[in-house]
Structure 1
Amino acid sequence: MEYFNCIALKEAEQLIVNKLEGLIVGSEQVSLVESLGRIVAEEVVSKEDLPPFSRSTVDGFAVRGMDTFGAGEGVPALFDIVGEVAMGQQTVVQIKPGQAVTIPTGGMLPSGADAVVMMEHAERPDSSSLLVLKAVAPGENVVVKGEDISVGRQLLQQGQKILPQDIGALAACGCVAVSVRQKPEVAIISTGDEVVDVDCTPVGGQIRDINSYALAAMLEDAGCRVSRNGIVKDQYEDLLAALSQAVNHCNLVVVSGGSSVGVRDHTVRVIKELGKSDVVFHGVAIKPGKPTIFGMIGKVPVFGLPGHPVAAMTVCGQIVKPAIQILLGQTVRDVYTIPARLSRSMASVPGRDDFIRVQLSKKASEYWAEPVLGKSGLISTMSAADGIVHIAADKGGLYSEEMVQVELITKQ
Structure 2
Amino acid sequence: MQFFKVKTVEETFSLIEENIPAIEQTEVRELAEALHYILAEPVIAKENVPSFDRSTVDGYAVRAKDTYGSSESMPGFLTLVGEVKMGEVPTVSVSNGKAVYIPTGGMLPRGSDSVIMIEHCEDVDGLLNTYKQNAPAENVIRTGEDIKEGEILVNKGTKLRPQELGALASLGITHVSVFRKLKVGYLSSGDEIVPYQTETLSAGQIRDINYLTIAGLANEWNVDVVYGGIVKDDFDEFKQKARELYDQVDGLILSGGSSVGAKDYTTDVIQSLGDPGVFVHGISIKPGKPTILALANGKPVIGLPGHPASAMIIFQLFGQRILRKLKGEKTEHKPERIFARMTKNIPSSPGRSDYIRVHLFEKDSEWWAEPIIGKSGLITTLVKSDGIVEITSEKEGVLQGEYVPVFVSR
TM range (shorter): 0.7 to 0.9
* Structure 1 counterpart of 2:160: 162
**Change in 2 beyond 3 A, CA 1:67/1:182:** same
Mapping 1:19-34, distance limit 5 Å: 19-20=19-20, 22-34=21-33
Deviations 1:130-174 (A, max 9, x none): 444543222223222222333234332222222222222222232
Q: Which runs of 5+ in 1 are unaligned?
A: 341-403
Mapping 1:350-369, distance limit 5 Å: none
* Structure 1 counterpart of 2:39: 40
Query: Which deviates more, 51-60 or 181-190?
Result: 51-60
Inter-partner Cα distance in structure 1 for 2:261 and 2:73: 92
Alignment partner of 1:140 is 2:135: no
The Cα of 1:327 is off from its aligned counterpart by: 0.9
Structure 1 residue ranges (4+ consecutive) displaced by more than 6 angstroms after TM superposition: 404-410
* Structure 2 counterpart of 1:237: 236
Which amino acid in structure 1 is aligned with residue 252 of structure 2?
Answer: V
* Structure 2 counterpart of 1:101: 100
Contact preservation (8 Å) 2:277, 2:296:
no
* Structure 1 counterpart of 2:397: none
Contact preservation (8 Å) 2:4, 2:290:
no
The Cα of 1:225 is off from its aligned counterpart by: 1.4
Alignment partner of 1:327 is 2:310: no
Mapping 1:3-402, distance limit 5 Å: 4-9=3-8, 10-20=10-20, 22-72=21-71, 76-124=75-123, 126-127=125-126, 129-201=127-199, 202-275=201-274, 279-329=278-328, 330-339=330-339
Inter-partner Cα distance in structure 2 for 1:54 and 1:103: 12
Q: Which runs of 5+ in 2 are unaligned?
A: 341-402
Inter-partner Cα distance in structure 1 for 2:15 and 2:179: 23
Inter-partner Cα distance in structure 2 for 1:301 and 1:283: 16
The Cα of 1:197 is off from its aligned counterpart by: 0.8
Contact preservation (8 Å) 2:334, 2:408:
no
* Structure 2 counterpart of 1:384: none
SS at match of 1:50: coil
Which amino acid in structure 2 is aligned with residue 149 of structure 1?
Answer: I
Inter-partner Cα distance in structure 2 for 1:108 and 1:284: 59
Inter-partner Cα distance in structure 1 for 2:179 and 2:246: 20
Contact preservation (8 Å) 1:58, 1:105:
yes
**Change in 2 beyond 3 A, CA 1:208/1:116:** same
The Cα of 1:123 is off from its aligned counterpart by: 4.6
The Cα of 1:242 is off from its aligned counterpart by: 1.0
Contact preservation (8 Å) 2:335, 2:408:
no
Inter-partner Cα distance in structure 2 for 1:409 and 1:153: 26
Which amino acid in structure 2 is aligned with residue 195 of structure 1?
Answer: I
Query: Which deviates more, 34-43 or 3-12?
Result: 3-12
Inter-partner Cα distance in structure 2 for 1:132 and 1:196: 76
The Cα of 1:211 is off from its aligned counterpart by: 1.4
Inter-partner Cα distance in structure 2 for 1:34 and 1:110: 38
Which amino acid in structure 1 is aligned with residue 197 of structure 2?
Answer: D
Contact preservation (8 Å) 2:278, 2:294:
yes
SS at match of 1:17: helix
Inter-partner Cα distance in structure 2 for 1:130 and 1:281: 73
**Change in 2 beyond 3 A, CA 1:229/1:136:** same
The Cα of 1:320 is off from its aligned counterpart by: 2.1
The Cα of 1:256 is off from its aligned counterpart by: 0.8
**Change in 2 beyond 3 A, CA 1:294/1:76:** closer
Deviations 1:154-195 (A, max 9, x none): 332222222222222222232222222222211010011211
TM-score normalised over the length of structure 2: 0.74
* Structure 2 counterpart of 1:382: none
Deviations 1:191-221 (A, max 9, x none): 1121111111222221100112211112222
Contact preservation (8 Å) 2:61, 2:114:
yes
Inter-partner Cα distance in structure 2 for 1:240 and 1:197: 20
The Cα of 1:338 is off from its aligned counterpart by: 2.5
**Change in 2 beyond 3 A, CA 1:320/1:407:** farther
Contact preservation (8 Å) 2:7, 2:280:
no
Inter-partner Cα distance in structure 2 for 1:124 and 1:305: 70
**Change in 2 beyond 3 A, CA 1:119/1:192:** closer
**Change in 2 beyond 3 A, CA 1:323/1:125:** closer
TM-score normalised over the length of structure 1: 0.74
**Change in 2 beyond 3 A, CA 1:220/1:126:** closer
The Cα of 1:231 is off from its aligned counterpart by: 0.7
**Change in 2 beyond 3 A, CA 1:99/1:36:** same
Larger Rg belongs to: 1
Contact preservation (8 Å) 1:76, 1:134:
yes
* Structure 2 counterpart of 1:389: none
Which amino acid in structure 2 is aligned with residue 166 of structure 1?
Answer: E
SS at match of 1:66: helix
SS at match of 1:280: strand
Contact preservation (8 Å) 2:339, 2:406:
no
The Cα of 1:23 is off from its aligned counterpart by: 3.8
**Change in 2 beyond 3 A, CA 1:267/1:66:** same
**Change in 2 beyond 3 A, CA 1:303/1:79:** closer
Inter-partner Cα distance in structure 2 for 1:206 and 1:405: 47
Inter-partner Cα distance in structure 1 for 2:32 and 2:151: 22
Inter-partner Cα distance in structure 1 for 2:406 and 2:105: 42
Q: How many residues align?
A: 344
**Change in 2 beyond 3 A, CA 1:409/1:112:** closer
* Structure 1 counterpart of 2:344: none
The Cα of 1:111 is off from its aligned counterpart by: 0.8
Which amino acid in structure 1 is aligned with residue 306 of structure 2?
Answer: G
**Change in 2 beyond 3 A, CA 1:111/1:246:** same
